[in-house]
Amino acid sequence: MGKAAVIGGVAVLGGVYLGLAAYGGGVVQREYGAELDKLAQALPFVKVVDRQYDKGLFSATASYGLRFGCATPETGDGGQAVTVTIRDRIAHGPFPAFSSVGWARLDTQIALPAKAPEALRRWIESMKPEAIRTVIGFDGAAATRVELPGGEFKSGGGSLRWQPLRGSFRVNGARTSVSYDFDLPELALDFANKGGSGSFRLVNLRGQSSSEMSDGMILDSGSGTATLDQAQMQIDAARGKAQFELNQLKFANAAKTENDLLGATASMTGSASLKVGDKTFQFDKIELQESMKRLHAPTLHKISLAFWQELGGVCRQDSAGQAHSLKEKQAAMLFGMKDLLAYDPEYSVDRIAITYAGQEGMLAYSVAAKGVTDEDLQQADPRQLLGKLTARASARLPVLWLEKIGAETSRGRLTPQQIHAQIDTLLKQTSEAGYIVREGDFVSSAALFEGGRLSVNGKAIDSPALMPPPGRPEQDGENQN
């Protein structure tokens, strides 16, 4: 009786597992097709072609092509269009391949067309079968892990090489929460020509981000950080050598949408150095802070979606009209951006600061719109909007920097005392004219454009050329007659 019960229990469990595998396989097949449909809608300029799906009880294989460019009658599919084939080996749950838990595990492989560069095709083919692996949970959430091999491409007088890249991507079942992280140990580019040689190198680039999206893929909130140990550029030319380095960079960004208005901030800190010939300039600290306020998220989404949809129809035109059509679509998108002005948007670089020779210089500026109406947006002359725009700019620099610049440009022809006297005289004249303010060892200046008028340090500057003349030109001409 006990043995029969065990056998019966095993049979029941086996039947349940088979049932779950069959059910899960159906779920995965439906979701797979739905995701491809969403991809085709989101990226109309990329065509999803040659869909295939072969489902078994415990596994399935699927493939599709992503066609970039246009297959016109003149060129055929082998002309402007390039098709990249994606193949997925799918293991069904609830314990796919007995390596995870969920509805399925997908191992993705990429195949490039024959006309792709041979070195790139070899690199793609060198990927392990599990290099791109996705696990789909019972709630529809997907987690993808990417481990790409290092490689090197050589062409002419240059080469591009990188170390293995690691990354991961996660999305919830409702497709409203997205996060990712990545790690690139090194990327290097070397180039040479008749004029000289050079190189560019990134070391230890790492980052992570997470975002919350609402219906229509409008950003609700998000944040991210990244670090870069070093970015280096070297130039060796006939006129001399130069090297520029950025070190220990830290990046951060955040965004949030409230009442359909998007606000975002971004920042960067680090240090830098510049070497020209035998001279080295060390910048102990560099800092950047910028922000955007009151960008109407639905309008942004509408503009971008309309542009992508129109771009997807370009391939229905002949090749002669494609370039002209793309220019028209880009112009229409930029023109549509004016609709954002009705929501009082603002963009500002809140702080650009550099520490050199122990002293800090700073620059900041902003541009904002206030009170723009629908009637204002219908004006043919964009200068009519200048009265509703406010622009600010300010700077504060150490006098020591000006003296160092003077020393470099004089090339030893002047003594430090002479340079100091010249700088002091120049600053006094500029200060008396109202363009700068002397504050001990620093000079500063602030400009404001508001209500169609420009001022510097509170002093009005005549700027009639910026504002449109009253009335229409044809009316002025009629009055003269």
pLDDT along the chain (481 residues), means of 10: 46 46 68 85 82 88 87 52 91 75 90 88 92 92 94 87 96 91 96 88 97 74 96 90 96 94 96 92 96 90 72 57 59 67 93 96 95 78 79 96 86 86 91 91 95 90 56 44 41
Query: Tokens representing 179?
Result: 């996060």
Torsion of Cα atoms, 427 then 430 then 433 then 436, to 10°: -80
Q: Which tokens hold the place of 253?
A: 């960004």
What does the pLDDT read at residue 42? 73
Residues 6+ apart with CB under 8 A from 312: 43, 44, 45
Neighbours of 101 (CB within 10 A): 13
What pLDDT is stored for residue 325 in this prediction? 60
pLDDT at 312: 59
pLDDT at residue 43 in the model? 75
Q: Treating both helix axes as pointing N-terminal to C-terminal, what angle do 399-410 and 416-432 enclose, rounded to 10 degrees?
A: 130
Alpha carbon distance 21, 103 (integer Å): 8
The closest of 222, 243, 248 to 232, measured between CA atoms, is 243
Distance CA(123)–CA(133), nearest Å, equals 18
> For residue 377, what pLDDT is reported?
74
- Torsion angle, alpha carbons of 301, 215, 369, 468, to 10: 30
pLDDT at 109 (0 to 100): 94
Q: For residue 1, how many C-alpha atoms fall within 13 Å in the half-sphere facing its CB?
A: 0
Cα 261-266-272 angle, rounded to 5 deg: 165
CA dist., res. 243 & res. 52, Å (int): 52
Q: Rounded distance, CA 265 to CA 350, Å?
A: 10
Instruction: Take residue 187 and report the two structure tokens written for it.
Output: 């990327």
Model's pTM, two decimal places? 0.84
